[in-house]
Structure 1
């Protein structure tokens, strides 16, 4: 009997404790609500005072809010910039990879060109023995390299083979065979003519002949006519 009474008293005490705890919690909530209401009143009073003190030439806050971009518009703009930067980064990475591969190919190409079993004498150097690579990028670099060497050696070639300073109507067409080296016979054909015509026009007329005779495996003359302007009306 005593045990039952003690258990009932303990339960009653626990209920009383929970009620008191709930009362204190609710009192705190009420106090917080009252405090927040007071703070709202203070802030509203400050806002009203700011509106009263605001100069007339300042745009109203409502107008500023109406003209401002929404957070969705700002996020969309940032996303567009991010996508653009990512695309640029990917393009630069692809270009970097392509340039690295081109550099490897050109290094191998240069090593092939300079690796000879025997030393060649100066007159036997020829661009016909230079092999161009298959990829368009490396072939373009090879063309530029060969063209640059031809350009910078033009004066030396003219001096070695004694090209004359011809008059405008004089044509020089002769050939010579150098057999001083039995292992490397050299055939030189000279042809020179000065024309009072634009270089681009003359180059276009002779380009196919030179290309066919020097690069496509045989001396084949393609009929080409260059019409010089006549003084007759």
Structure 2
């Protein structure tokens, strides 16, 4: 009996306590609702231009601290790398000296050693390659115009070779413009084949085939070809291409002074420059290709021209019977053009045979 009475009293106590707790909670809710209404009445309108609390600013700066440290570290490395490149170039120029850098191989004042020289240090070398190729591409429209190429839209097809004599020696100029039947998909493989077979396409070895692989350096943007011709001439051709969906241009330049190219001071060279461009006109699928090749008279390392009598060995000529400079130049011009035409024809035939033979190989 006493146990039941105790339990009943305890249950009454718990119910009273629950009712008291519930009343307290309701009172607290009422107070909070009143406080909320008061705060809403007194709330300051949001101002996007107001200053942020310092805690928010500190949190944002802390979040950005890691990114800033990483960016600073990267910039420091880039500055150090660029300083090293500058130091390499300064030492290279000091080592070369005024007499160490050959005169313009072109010889007409339109070119400088910067456009025909490469240093050995990797970063400086890549910088030099990029400069030379970018310059050739940039000047392409003006170069084509200066050599009397018609506008693409005119559709004039032609091919010619000429030899011009100047006070700086002769210049052999090969020009061609034609319509190509291939669509835009053929642009990349055409330029790849041109770049890989550059020495053969430019007939640097005359009537003789190029005897071996000539690529000595290659990257995504530049390819360097190197060889010696049958007559001992040093060929060191840098080439690169710029590709767009409907246009491509390939350029090449003889590098006269290359720190990675060991050759005798008595070696001969001749400046070669090439511009080869293919454009798909907006008036349909018509593709126009044009090529300009400029080859200068052979020079020794010091810039001295090789006499025409020695140059005539290319086509097996003898100029000793010519009684004047005019007759010597006229005879040389005639036979040099004939020799160039034969050389280009032989090169096209060799390349055509190579393309036709590939599918059956292997």
Structure 2 length as normaliser, TM-score? 0.31
The structure whose Rg is larger is 1
Instruction: Give the number of the structure whose residues are more often helix, by fraction.
Output: 1
Of structures 1 and 2, the one with the larger relative CO (CA 8 A, separation 6+) is 2
Structure 1 length as normaliser, TM-score? 0.45
